[in-house]
Amino acid sequence: MSAGEAVIGLGARSALFLPLKNLGVVIVDEEHETSFKQEETPRYHARDLAVVRAQRDRAVVVLGSATPSLESSANASQGRYTRLLLPTRVMERPMPEVEIVDLARSERVGDGAFTRSLASALATTVRAGEQAVLFLNRRGFSPYISCRDCGHAFRCPDCDVTLTLHRRRGSSSATTAASWSRRRTSVPSA
């Protein structure tokens, strides 16, 4: 990188530290994502660091998002950023078909990770020789803890946020709350 042989650097948030010479553009895709925040020391927000790095190197920064963060929207409204809109999808492609599934009432298969409709759609895709990608946008081992029998979602008693299971810690927490629970909790009776 520092020798200038590579012309493109691609990576996670730490790619901002690559020793690229003659940097021309920094692209942050899905800039609204909270995963761009580095939780450990040194703490930084990759989106904000990308803007600083681009300014320092006199490069252009592109913050891409269909749902921009409040900070980026405010910066565009105040004239600090230039808002560029893409009013149509690439090659005029239609929006994908979306199905909303009630996870509390849906039949599960295997170890319970997939609903029958998702497993069926994946099997159909694979049989057709196509590929599938499942995106899991979550913190922790499980985004919420629920009873497989009745669908009750366990919530933080202080802030009412659903509890997230963190397998390594062996505990559950409300990711926006300061409470932790290591005890087993029973489902409330109806």
pLDDT tens for 21-38 read 889 999 999 999 888 888
Sequence-separated (6 or more) residues with CB below 8 Å from residue 161: 155, 174, 175, 176, 177
CA angle 115, 165, 153 (to 5 degrees): 60
Q: Which pair of structure tokens corresponds to residue 154?
A: 């366990």
Cα 158 to chain centroid, rounded = 25
What pLDDT tens digit does each residue of the chain (190 aa) get?
A: 667 777 788 888 888 988 888 899 999 999 998 888 887 788 889 999 999 999 999 999 999 998 999 999 999 999 999 999 988 888 999 988 888 888 778 888 877 778 899 999 999 999 999 999 887 655 655 666 777 778 787 777 767 777 776 666 555 544 444 344 555 555 566 5
Pairing label, strands 108-109, 37-38: unpaired
Radius of gyration of the chain (CA): 22
> Is the pTM above the cut of 0.75?
no
Q: Which residue has the tokens 């650097």?
A: 9
